[in-house]
Amino acid sequence: MLRFVAPENSSAIPHQILQGAYLIGPDSVPIAGEVILEKGFIRCEKGTREAASLALQFDLDDSTLRSLHSDLNISGPIIDDIQLRPMGTWVLQTCLLHDRKRPYVLELELARHRIMLFLTKLEDWQAFDIAPDSQVMRLFEQARNAFTKGLVASSSHENGIEKAAKYGLLALWISLEVSERLSILQTRRDFTDRMNGKLYLSVSEDGGINKRAMPVLHPTRGGVVLPTRPAIGASVSPGVLNPQTKAAAIESCDFISLPMRWVELEPLEGEYAYTPTDQWIEWAIRTAKLPVVAGPVIDFRPQSVPEWLYIWENDYDTLRELVYEHLKATVTRYRRTISRWTVCSGLHCGEHFKLDFQQMIDLTRICVLVVRKLHPRAKVQVEIIEPWGEYHTSDRRSLPPVLYAEMLTQSGIPIDSFSLRVQMGSFESGQQTRDLMAFSSMLDQYSMLDRPIAISAFGAPSGPLVSSDNDQHKYPNSGQWRQPWTEQGQADWMSAYGAVALSKPYVESICWHELADPNGATEMRTGGLLDRRFEQRESYQRMIELRHAIQSGKLPNRLMDDEFLSPNSTMSSSLSK
């Protein structure tokens, strides 16, 4: 049996299924099972004897940090001028562990995985030239020393588990801090070479960049290296076309993305409502001279599906025919104005329309081939939602996202790129908060598909959400990154995560998930660059800042300052009193 000693603050809970926690098997594939909290232990019920790892939300808040300082009699700074600070609530995981009678110490196993990930990314990023006496490496040694003390304490009979948990928590906290700092450091190392083409020239055999230059495979780090700079844009809703959104799009975007929700284009079967979408496209092409990315055209999430389509959700043959006709009508109408199509989204996740894996692949193939036939010159991409794949642990008819992408590639379906939805800070599955290194590592995993990667929905809220925003929420806490979700927190998240993504040589674009908060369908209220009064948020200026950074080839000054990861937020200010 796989068991863990639960953190102290959960010992009073008698018995409950731990919402949001899930199990991961070999090759990072989520596996079926339940995670149960009872009598001070976390018990993992899985249907296999294979080793598994546990992923769960972990509080790295002010009260936890205060207890750590008190119990271990430590005070900041831990090393140099680095002081441990509250980080919020993140999804973390352990290494693969075998069943055993004696329970594992959760904090120690979370720290073990993070230390392992740090070393793995040092190798993947070829960053072993970082000086041993650098701040990052000295801080990492502190984490490793604390982890070693935890291992020694775990074998002690007197208060061993309690001491191991405290030292494990200290090791975890330091290793998370240092892993985020390594992610920013690697972004600084790669960003300029990515933007000025030096990285491409170093791996390209023809020794030059021209209009016909093609992506090339990186010989050592894996993935493709693109000859062009990445683009940055935002998704617009048909109902928010006004002078404010027009001006915002021109100033902050290299392109706009129109979601083309089926429910908006064909609210009643056979009756199309194209006017709002037509107006955005006409303005973008004729006036603003902005390229338009369309889609996802086929998307079975509730906010995108018209009511009349649910009649056919269990009749695949009819559904397939309706998808074909809708794609044909939409692409035929807009093929003269669209440069890139996101043809489908989330077909691998069977949460809404129940498809078996053969139907998932077949429907994806139809979507791609219809667009290829009707619009041969357009770029075609397939969108992957919930890129960490949490949904697969509870829905065994679904496909893990990476496996889905690999099957499409091996099937020979002519896809130009894959796009990922990366949203954090929501109660929905797949939108929980993760740290910078987990985000960077996830992107590296998808780069192994040897296709360019686009981040087609990139965002976080500008204010705390409540669970009523999503009636089917699965997570008790939406998480937060280093500070509560505010306009400042959203802006800092955009700067850090956006810079990490843009520095990747295989990322061709990132698209903020909402230009302005819409009144209609949206996944995340308060997630726009503009609020509902169309006034600019701080994230709007950060978007412009990132766009200028792409053009100049230099990271914004704020990301070159080590204090960027230590904002003077209300969470951290109390520690210094």
User: What CATH number does residue 310 fall under?
Assistant: 3.20.20.80
- What pLDDT does 78 receive? 59
| Same domain flag for 252 and 339 | yes
Instruction: Find the range with the poorest average confidence among 45-54, 79-88, 295-304.
Output: 79-88
- What pLDDT does 8 receive? 73
Q: Does 216 reside within a domain?
A: no
Distance in angstroms (rounded) separating the CA atoms of residues 353 and 283: 35
Q: Which two tokens stand for residue 68?
A: 């750590």
pLDDT tens digits, one per residue of 80-137: 567 788 888 999 999 999 999 999 999 999 999 999 999 999 999 988 889 998 889 9
Q: Which two tokens stand for residue 492?
A: 């800092």
For residue 89, give Cα distances in angstroms to 336, 372, 475, 527.
46, 43, 12, 19
Closest Cα partner for 197 from 222, 216, 221? 216
| Same domain flag for 270 and 161 | no
| Same domain flag for 113 and 259 | no
Q: Does 199 reside within a domain?
A: no
Say if residues 56 and 475 touch (Cβ distance below 8 Å).
no
H/E segment holding residue 251? helix 243-252
| Same domain flag for 479 and 405 | yes
Question: Which of 187, 220, 251 corresponds to the end of one domain?
Answer: 187
Closest Cα partner for 333 from 281, 259, 268, 369? 281
**How many residues can be counted in the chain?**
577
Instruction: Find the range with the poorest average confidence among 59-68, 227-236, 363-372, 556-565.
Output: 59-68
| Same domain flag for 158 and 236 | no
Q: Does 349 reside within a domain?
A: yes
For residue 74, give Cα distances in angstroms to 71, 79, 350, 413.
8, 12, 49, 57
- What pLDDT does 570 receive? 33
Using 50, 70 and 90 to split pLDDT, how confident is the model at 525? Answer: confident
Q: Does 194 reside within a domain?
A: no
Instruction: Find the range with the poorest average confidence among 255-264, 355-364, 460-469, 563-572.
Output: 563-572
| Same domain flag for 175 and 250 | no
| Same domain flag for 448 and 339 | yes
| Same domain flag for 65 and 163 | yes
Q: Does 139 reside within a domain?
A: yes
Burial class (CB in 10 A: 0-12, 13-18, 19+), 477: middle
| Same domain flag for 329 and 254 | yes
Q: Which two tokens stand for residue 145?
A: 């020393």
Question: Which of 129, 158, 187 corresponds to the end of one domain?
Answer: 187
| Same domain flag for 179 and 316 | no
- What pLDDT does 47 receive? 81
H/E segment holding residue 366? helix 357-374
| Sign of the alpha-carbon dihedral angle for 196, 544, 457, 274 | negative
Average pLDDT over residues 298-320: 92
| Same domain flag for 165 and 243 | no
Which residues are registered as beta bridge partners of 510? Answer: 232, 455
Question: Which of 126, 154, 187 corresponds to the end of one domain?
Answer: 187
| Same domain flag for 250 and 174 | no
88: left (phi over 0), alpha (psi -120 to 50) or beta: left
- What pLDDT does 397 receive? 86
- The parent domain of residue 267 ranges over 229-565
The count of domains in the chain is: 2
- What pLDDT does 473 receive? 43
- What pLDDT does 568 receive? 47
Average pLDDT over residues 46-65: 89
Residue tagged 């204090």 (tokens): 563
Say if residues 25 and 52 touch (Cβ distance below 8 Å).
yes
Phi, psi of 174 (to 5 degrees): -70, -40
Q: Does 571 reside within a domain?
A: no
Instruction: Find the range with the poorest average confidence among 6-15, 115-124, 169-178, 224-233.
Output: 6-15
Q: Does 577 reside within a domain?
A: no
Distance in angstroms (rounded) separating the CA atoms of residues 372 and 416: 11
pLDDT tens digits, one per residue of 399-421: 999 999 999 999 999 999 999 99
Q: Does 277 reside within a domain?
A: yes
pLDDT tens digits, one per residue of 471-515: 444 566 788 999 999 999 999 999 999 999 999 999 999 999 999
Largest CA distance in the chain: 75
Distance in angstroms (rounded) separating the CA atoms of residues 319 and 529: 36
Distance in angstroms (rounded) separating the CA atoms of residues 352 and 385: 13
What share of the chain in percent tops pLDDT 70?
91
Using 50, 70 and 90 to split pLDDT, how confident is the model at 577? Answer: very low
Instruction: Find the range with the poorest average confidence among 71-75, 91-95, 364-368.
Output: 71-75
Between 391 and 112, name the one with better pLDDT: 112
Using 50, 70 and 90 to split pLDDT, how confident is the model at 470? Answer: very low
For residue 106, give Cα distances in angstroms to 39, 92, 99, 112, 280.
15, 11, 14, 10, 51
Distance in angstroms (rounded) separating the CA atoms of residues 435 and 179: 9
How much is the mean pLDDT over the chain? Answer: 89
